Amino acid sequence: MSANDWWRGAVIYQIYPRSFQDDDGDGLGDLRGITRRLGHVADLGVDAIWLSPFFPSPMADMGYDIADHCGVDPAFGTIEDFDALVAEAHRLGLKVTIDQVYPHTSDAHRWFDESRADTANPKADWYVWADPKPDGSMPNNWQSVFGGPAWAWEPARRQYYMHNFLPSQPQMNLHNPEVQEALLETTRFWLERGVDGFRMDSVNYQFHDAKLTDNPPIGDGKPEMGPENTYGYQAHLYDKSRPENLVFLKRFRSMLDRYGAVAVGEVGDGARSLETMAAYTTGKRLHMAYSFELLGPTFTAAHFRKAMGAFDAVAGGEGWPAWAFSNHDVPRHLTRWAEHSDDPDRLAKLCAMLLLSFKGSICLYQGEELGLPEAALDYAELTDPVGLKFWPENKGRDGARTPMPWAAAAQHAGFSGAGETWLPVKAPHAEMAVDTQDGVPGSVLEFYREMLAFRKGAPALRSGGIAFVDAGGDVLGFWRGAGADRRLCLFNLGATDQSVSMEETLALVGPRVGEVALDGGGVTLGALSGGILEVA
């Protein structure tokens, strides 16, 4: 691969700045703290970091409501702190990617202040505004991802504005070329500061149907949200994933190419997610995309095979996926899939081997390498608007966002010296801190390091193709291949032993989980076991 293709098969480590390391003692993580802890990330063997938002924001949605695209919120530090972080990451051999949020801003953004004032100002058309119906009701039936109508009333303009998420996150009007240019300029600001790439938040929400056509009911389709949320009752044909986005993404890609930068898009599109991922990563648009396909409750061989196979089928070999099991928006996977094993460490290792064998680029979420489960929080401890609104049916995202535990015996497990932290460090997490696993043979942390090193040294796993094996039962099997390097990846996700017969005589290579026995071309896998093999 060329130097500009570093992203193809790369492993990207997501850092949630609020929760990684607090160095100024206010109970909230900051950029200096991240810089100090980058050695841990580099020692894992990943290729890049992804920083969740650190921009100025009222923090109604924890930074995804941006009030200034070209700055650093004082809670996280200064622009000089950011520059120092980039320099240290590059010194350690890590690429730096950061979040970009194009679909909406905060209602505290200066652009929205101007736009909302009246219908004649220079930015009057920078957001999605619409007149009420004759009876004063909302312009159409669109619903917000966070529940309820996707429209809020602005008395000064006597119009509604659209918000796909919180009412304090007004939707930008990317049909307006001036808006496109303004957003591209904010991205260029970070490119000039040495950023290597971007994670595009809610990338398929960037355009809406200009005619404001009502969405049809979901009918027999699969809802995108739980029954507690009105968003799940519609087929979202007109409020997202619009064809205009494909045109704009080519313009966006052209700018990235001039800097040698890359982009991965977050695609939330229900049953259409894999098709949208494919469309967005072909035709010189995004480099990679991921969906919530593997971020749900299903842990079966059939599900993983279907997701990877379906993407390859629709992408035609050109598109490139980015797979993840956990992130800041969903419960941690060791809790989602806990029912499949009474040995959490074994499940954590099997998931690591599984994910790091997939074709595509890989996103790891901070703490995943420690085997952290979802933190159990009380309602009084929540900050996430999702949990606050939908508790207890949906406990929100705070359980996946609690601080990183570094030292088991230290205050707040070494995350902060403050009296209180923005979210608590629970005892089960402190007991799994980095210092309890670092250098300990058999720990989850050491297994991640071993598996990451193995992936990096195996062209077949990093950039090779994939061909599935009809292994049957609960076994997921596939060949990964790049030139002369071919590896057979076998995983038994079930609760009983499984056997697989192959024509080739095989030998185990690299890490393994559980019991894997060979007899010529026969492989017997114990329950929740996995191994990587090559032709002997």
Catalytic residues: 201, 266
Tokens (6 digits) for 76: 């996280």
Cβ neighbours for 258, distance < 8 A, ≥ 6 positions apart: none
Handedness of CA 443, 448, 453, 455 (dihedral sign): positive
Tokens (6 digits) for 526: 């114990």
Q: Give the Cα separation of 510 and 162 in Å (integer).
A: 52
Tokens (6 digits) for 206: 């960037």
Are the CB atoms for 474 and 311 separated by under 8 Å? no
Specify the residue for token string 């350690």: 92
Q: Give the Cα separation of 112 and 181 in Å (integer).
A: 16
Alpha carbons within 13 A on the beta-carbon side of 93: 12
Length of the chain: 536
Q: Give the Cα separation of 365 and 46 in Å (integer).
A: 12
Specify the residue for token string 């290729």: 47
Are the CB atoms for 430 and 405 separated by under 8 Å? yes
DSSP structure class, residue 94:
-
Q: Give the Cα separation of 227 and 77 in Å (integer).
A: 40
Q: Give the Cα separation of 6 and 300 in Å (integer).
A: 31
DSSP structure class, residue 321:
B
Q: Give the Cα separation of 432 and 55 in Å (integer).
A: 31
Alpha carbons within 13 A on the beta-carbon side of 412: 23
Q: Give the Cα separation of 402 and 333 in Å (integer).
A: 15
Question: Burial level of 68, CB count in 10 A (0-12/13-18/19+)?
Answer: middle
Q: Give the Cα separation of 156 and 136 in Å (integer).
A: 15
Give the distance from CA 233 to its chain's centroid: 25
| 3-state SS, one letter per residue, for 330-397 | CCCHHHHCHHHCCCHHHHHHHHHHHHCCCCCEEEEECCHHHCCCCCCCCHHHCCCHHHHHHCCCCCCC
Give the distance from CA 486 to its chain's centroid: 29
DSSP structure class, residue 144:
-
Tokens (6 digits) for 338: 């806990």
